[in-house]
Structure 1
Amino acid sequence: MEQQSQWVGIDVSKASLDVCLRPSGEQFQVKNQASGIVKLIEHLQRFKIQQVILEASGGLELDAAQALQEKGFAISIINPRQARDFAKASGKLAKTDRIDAAVLAHFGEAMQPAVTVLASACEQALQAAVTRRRQLVEMLTAEKNRQSSLRGKMRQSVDEHLEWLEDRIRELDDEIEQLSQAHEQWRSRITILKSVPGIGKVIATTLVAALPELGQVNDKRISALVGVAPLNRDSGKFRGSRTIWGGRANVRAALYMGALVAVQHNPILKSFYARLLSQGKAKKVALTACMHKLLRILNAMIRDGKPWQLPTLASEGN
């Protein structure tokens, strides 16, 4: 008899991987380390696997997900909120590792989420370097804010830390430059993005590293991925304002900085921002709309492989 296709849910923790197969109902646990992942793959290879569902768990899921993908398994890494909402809707109010694994398997079978394609080793290295640079810049800003209120040895300690952070950031800038220039496609994309008034090297590199879907999907999808698509909050007679939520916070932060510059120096975004303000829109709302418009422009440019061209872009819809 032909084997029945199985949906696999894996609940990830630092120490272990709790696994559930659906509809067989089989459950088992392995260690979240190389030897345990080998056992996981060997066990799953006995079955006809439709898809493996994992939650994004702060990177704890990546080793298992990468190994599964390399062995040919279709994987999907979903937002934990999706899984929790699905559990509540299914009446699964209790929460244990075994229950969570079963919920993920059920979610996969019912919702059939899109397959996640993990980044290559080079892409992961670039993403890690860009993320670490952002973290160090945040630390640098925090230390500068403390600096003025300190005296004596404490002030000297902060000064030394600031010097160390600045050195590390410069080293990361060199590393990011080397990584981003190592691939022709990345070089081309960064050059195209930097041609837009408001987009500098740091923002362009962040977009290339953290948003590889740019230029590969439609405007609606890319806006949802970043979290700048306005979402309805209407129910019954209530009509709420449109809001944005979810998405990739690091990309959204980079896009926000780009929009701040663009509304002053980019002629299209500048006029768009001014028009929204003249219509009575709050500055925050207008700036968010500019982020959305800027992202759509960047998506079209990467898709078409064309740098910034004011006449062409000016003819696009608002």
Structure 2
Amino acid sequence: MDQPLQWVGIDVSKATLDVYLRPSGQSFQAKNQASGMIELIEQLQSFKIGQVILEATGGLELEVAQALQDQGLAISIINPRQARKFAKASGKLAKTDRIDAAVLAHFGQAMQPAVTVLASANEQALQETVTRRCQLVEMLTAEKNRQSSLRGRMRQDVNDHVEWLEKRIRELDDEIEQLSQAHDQWRSQLALLTSVPGIGKVIATTLIAALPELGKVSDKRISTLVGVAPLNRDSGKYRGSRTIWDGRANVRAALYMGALVAVRHIPVLKAFYSRLVSQGKAKKVALTACMHKLLRILNTMIRDGKPWQPPTLATEED
């Protein structure tokens, strides 16, 4: 008889990997190091694996996920919030590493989440560099806000730090430029994206690094991934306001900055924004709608490989 498909949940901690297989109910633990990953793969080879489910745990999950993907196994890295809500919905209120692994396996079997394709070494390098630049920019903003409230030696200390941060950000800009230009596909995408009013190199590189799905999935899917798709909140006769939820905050922040410029320089977005505001929409809500529309434009451009063309006013009604 053919073996039944097994759904594997792996709870990743700094020291260990707790593994649970469903529906067989087998479980074991391995060390979160090279020898433990070899043991894990050897154990799984005796089963017919449907999918391996892991939680995003600040990067701790990436090494084992990469090792499993290299062995040809389908993996899915999910948001911990999804797993916890699923656990509560299925009556699993207690929380241990073994229980968490079992919940992940159950989630995989019941929900069959989309397969996660991990970035290549070059993609990871670009993502990490862009992420680090964002972190330094946030630190720079915080330090500049402190300058006016400080005096004497402490103010000079902040000034020195500001100077260092600005220098380091310029260095990271050079690194990002080198990384993005070294890859033919990225170079082509960068040229397409930066042709759009409001999309500069920083925003374009953030999109390439943090949203590799751009141009590869539907408009609806890309909007959900970023977190700019308006979601219904209805129940019975009640009709709640549509809200955005979840998504990739770093991409959304970059897109927000691009939309601020785009609504002034892209006629169709300018008209769309003005119409929403004239209908009584809050300016932030109107701008979010423009972010949604701009993202769809960018997704289409990358998908079709066509340079920027100003959309017609008819697109406003899409």
For normalisation by structure 1, the TM-score amounts to 0.97
Counterpart of 2:207 in structure 1: which amino acid? L
Q: State the alpha-carbon separation in 2 of the partners of residues 166 and 39 from structure 1.
A: 46
Q: Is the 8 A contact 2:272 2:316 kept in 1?
A: no
Which moved further from structure 2: 175-184 or 80-89? 80-89
Q: State the alpha-carbon separation in 2 of the partners of residues 156 and 34 from structure 1.
A: 47
Q: Is the 8 A contact 2:262 2:270 kept in 1?
A: yes
In the TM superposition, what is the alpha-carbon distance from 1:36 to its structure 2 partner?
1.6
Q: Which residue is 2:29 aligned to?
A: 29
In the TM superposition, what is the alpha-carbon distance from 1:269 to its structure 2 partner?
1.3
1:110 matched to 2:118? The reply is no
Give matches, 1:215-230, under 5 Å.
215-230=215-230
In the TM superposition, what is the alpha-carbon distance from 1:317 to its structure 2 partner?
4.5
Counterpart of 2:159 in structure 1: which amino acid? D
Counterpart of 2:277 in structure 1: which amino acid? L
Q: Which residue is 1:208 aligned to?
A: 208
Give matches, 1:132-147, under 5 Å.
132-147=132-147
The superposition leaves residues 2-25 of structure 1 with CA deviations (integer Å, 9 ceiling, x where unpaired) of 322211000111221110011111
In the TM superposition, what is the alpha-carbon distance from 1:292 to its structure 2 partner?
0.3
In the TM superposition, what is the alpha-carbon distance from 1:288 to its structure 2 partner?
0.6
Q: Which residue is 2:296 aligned to?
A: 296
In the TM superposition, what is the alpha-carbon distance from 1:238 to its structure 2 partner?
2.1
Give matches, 1:180-199, under 5 Å.
180-199=180-199
Q: State the alpha-carbon separation in 2 of the partners of residues 19 and 313 from structure 1.
A: 54
Q: State the alpha-carbon separation in 2 of the partners of residues 256 and 276 from structure 1.
A: 17
Give matches, 1:113-262, under 5 Å.
113-262=113-262
Q: State the alpha-carbon separation in 2 of the partners of residues 168 and 313 from structure 1.
A: 42
Q: Which residue is 1:268 aligned to?
A: 268
Q: Which residue is 1:72 aligned to?
A: 72
Q: Is the 8 A contact 1:16 1:32 kept in 2?
A: yes
Residue identity (%): 81
Q: State the alpha-carbon separation in 2 of the partners of residues 206 and 216 from structure 1.
A: 17
Counterpart of 1:17 in structure 2: which amino acid? L
Counterpart of 1:316 in structure 2: which amino acid? T
Q: Is the 8 A contact 1:297 1:313 kept in 2?
A: no
Q: State the alpha-carbon separation in 2 of the partners of residues 158 and 280 from structure 1.
A: 43
In the TM superposition, what is the alpha-carbon distance from 1:255 to its structure 2 partner?
0.5
Q: Is the 8 A contact 2:268 2:315 kept in 1?
A: no
Q: Which residue is 1:316 aligned to?
A: 315
Q: State the alpha-carbon separation in 1 of the partners of residues 138 and 266 from structure 2.
A: 27
Counterpart of 1:134 in structure 2: which amino acid? C
Q: Cα gap change, 1:132/1:41 in structure 2, threshold over 3 Å: closer, same or farther? A: same
Q: Is the 8 A contact 1:66 1:118 kept in 2?
A: yes
Q: CA RMSD in A?
A: 1.1
Q: Which residue is 2:11 aligned to?
A: 11
For normalisation by structure 2, the TM-score amounts to 0.97
In the TM superposition, what is the alpha-carbon distance from 1:30 to its structure 2 partner?
1.4
Q: State the alpha-carbon separation in 1 of the partners of residues 309 and 37 from structure 2.
A: 50
What secondary structure sits across from 2:69 in the alignment? helix
In the TM superposition, what is the alpha-carbon distance from 1:275 to its structure 2 partner?
1.1
